[in-house]
Amino acid sequence: MRSDTRKVIENVCNARIITIEALGGGCISEVRRITLSNDKQIVAKIGDAGENNGFVIEAYMLDYLTKHSTLPSPKVIYAKDNLLLMEHIPTKGGASAKTQEHAAELLAELHSITSDKYGFEKDTLIGGIHQPNNKMDSWIDFFAEHRLLYMAKETFDAGKLSVSEMKRIEKFAGKLRKWLDEPEKPSLIHGDMWSGNVLYKNDRIAGFVDPALYYADSEMEFTFSTVYSTFGRPFFKRYSEIRPIRAGFFEARRDIYNLFPLLIHARLFGCNYAARVANSLSHFGF
């Protein structure tokens, strides 16, 4: 850690840094657990200022969750383009049946927060990639334009998607109404529900981190859970007891919505994920 960064942290926290430990999950930035001289622990995310280190946006989303929901998430201490300081949330254990049931209850409550439009009040980030959130009345149009086509174009421009694959996605996006319907209301979703963003402690959820907030079809939350195996049967059983899952999700919509996280990973990590995108398109006849 650079000396100027240490100085900022010590000034903000009014305490000396005693120890610094690396934490997992920082594919975009460094993540460190810091023990201070006042016996408190905080988490620091550190990176060069730029488009891939939108710590101010991340802090905004965490504050939004605190103000508008009861979803457990870390409180923000300080946020600038190259440094984000948050409270440290102690963890222990993993995704047991009980923690999955608790996650279902928390996310069902989050999804009960609704809006009159799909999108969000500002653009956000997911995996360090710009995420447009222009508000729209139609979920299908929003998903096609601001999720599927936008991320496909990002992936294509990065050289991770071929011309033919891009054309297949464009054709598929024009036919989404064959498989998708309009939800009753837009729901607030965490937006990046893979296992690395879920913190557990003693058969309970301790917190959710790294949000990519917007108002969506609540089923978009499940796709991140299924493509990355975050949650399984106990989660879906408990969730459906609170908010019944519409017929057709597991048969078709899950695989359509999964194209979005697969494209994100293709954009970030390359051809293996692009091949999975191509296989999904073939499944739907494109």
**Helix and strand element counts for the chain (H, E):** 11, 11
The whole-angstrom separation of Cα 194 and Cα 198 is 7
DSSP 8-state symbol, 82:
T
Closest of 125, 242, 136 to residue 192, by C-alpha: 125
The whole-angstrom separation of Cα 140 and Cα 276 is 22
The whole-angstrom separation of Cα 286 and Cα 275 is 14
SS3 of residue 205 by DSSP:
strand
Query: Are 234 and 228 a contacting pair, CB within 8 Å?
Result: no
Q: Is 192 a catalytic residue?
A: yes
List Cα–Cα distances, 235 to 27, 194, 227, in angstroms.
27, 14, 15
Q: Which of 123, 192, 210, 255 is catalytic?
A: 192
Burial class (CB within 10 angstroms; exposed 0-12, middle 13-18, buried 19+) of 103: buried
Closest of 140, 87, 110 to residue 213, by C-alpha: 110
| Half-sphere exposure in the Cβ direction for 114 (13 Å, CA) | 7
* Residue positions annotated with a catalytic role: 192
